[in-house]
Amino acid sequence: MALKVDYLQSVFKETKIPVQISSTNDKATVAIIFERVNRQGVPLDTLQLLSAWTWSEDFQLQQQFEDLSEQLAPFGFSDVGTDTNLLLRCCAAVLKYDASPDALMKLNGAEIRSKFEEILNGVRYAVDYLRIHMNAYSIDNLPFPTTIVPLSVFFAVPGNKEVDVSDDQRKQINRWFWRSCFSKRYSSGVLRNLNADIKEMLLLRSKKPSTLGGFSADLDKKFFTSNTFGMGNVNTKTFVLMLAQNSPKSFVSGAPVNLAETLKSSNRAEFHHLMPRSFLRKSAQISIDESVLANFAFLSRSDNRILGGDAPSAYQAKMALNKKEILESALCPVSLFNDKYDVFIEERVDLLLKKATLLCA
């Protein structure tokens, strides 16, 4: 065995390994070198190439993204730091005012490094804005995570500076957000719509006339009666954030719902039927689907267990004394306690639509 080890060592100690150092800002050259070294045939993505030509001894792009993820973790947005496609869109939007990651190919590494703090500030403040104004405590709460992209452009400033948001700017940003959600603006024509919104966001930041959010959002009662509740779909996420705007209260304790705790986990168990399924089936009130959005509210598993599957007229005795405040906070009509499902749905939809219209106004 010793002889084999000696022989193996002798083979390598006299071998010369060629090293070629290449320094260039030409992205095409970098890509070619990577492709030739990459003998396994694994396609190189934008992040890998971008990491290569922005690299320096004190700047590694992927490490920067990982650090951002750690910074956002306490706020429930760590996934932003691991969503490289989203972050690359933010980088491109801030530096080139174009949400396509391909736009980054037109930049040199030094420029990206010098302005990267602006990108990080833009993302951090965008997340903070969504938490404070939209009650979004996790990226999973957002109907479209891409709303972070135009918003990061608005908040992208160097160093320790902050963007002062006037009341008029805040109102316009909020209108844009809600119209984007209800109109499903980023479900199709994503790049076109993102770039249009980036342009208007820049004008708004400069306090120039801006048409941000000027597109229409056709609100209809069917939104609340045709869509069923499911935490993974866009309409439900929009609905949940809308309910959160009304400072909902617990049906049992009457205390405000802890939105940060409830929404950070994005847990289906924190939402339940106002008219219990078992009651609707027993009373043969099945003309309207029991799981439409209009029949849901913030209702924790523990509250739901206490209220049980009884008729609302029966379970109201188990509710806190401030019933009127609880119902108002849930955008829920008093007709809930009349046990007439079709009447309740019709009246609640009116309240929900009124709230949605107000948010989009």
Could you list the pLDDT tens digit for every one of the 361 residues in the chain? 788 887 777 777 767 777 767 676 665 565 555 555 555 555 556 677 677 666 777 778 778 878 888 888 777 777 776 788 888 889 889 999 999 867 877 776 777 788 889 988 999 999 999 999 999 999 999 999 999 999 999 999 888 888 899 999 999 999 999 999 999 999 999 999 999 999 999 999 999 999 999 999 989 999 999 999 999 899 999 999 999 999 999 999 999 999 998 988 778 889 999 999 999 999 999 899 999 999 999 999 999 999 988 999 999 999 999 999 999 999 999 999 999 999 999 999 999 999 999 999 9
Q: Give the angle 148-151-154 at the CA atoms, nearest 5°.
A: 150
Which H or E element spans position 261?
Answer: helix 259-264
Q: Give the angle 35-38-41 at the CA atoms, nearest 5°.
A: 90
pLDDT at 43: 59
pLDDT at 110: 76
Whether 11 is covered by a domain: the verdict is no
Q: Are residues 98 and 209 in the same domain?
A: yes
Number of domains in the chain: 2
What SS3 string covers 316-346? HHHCCCCHHHHHHHCCCCHHHHHCCHHHHHH
For residue 165, report the phi and psi dihedrals to the nearest 5 degrees.
-100, 115
Beta bridge mates, 292: 228
Whether 201 is covered by a domain: the verdict is yes
**Could you tell me the residue range of the domain that residue 338 belongs to?**
222-255+267-360
CA-to-CA distance for 131 and 139, rounded, in angstroms?
A: 10
CA-to-CA distance for 312 and 340, rounded, in angstroms?
A: 10
Q: Are residues 279 and 319 in the same domain?
A: yes
Q: Are residues 80 and 212 in the same domain?
A: yes
CA-to-CA distance for 129 and 256, rounded, in angstroms?
A: 21
> How many CB atoms are closer than 10 A to CB 170?
12
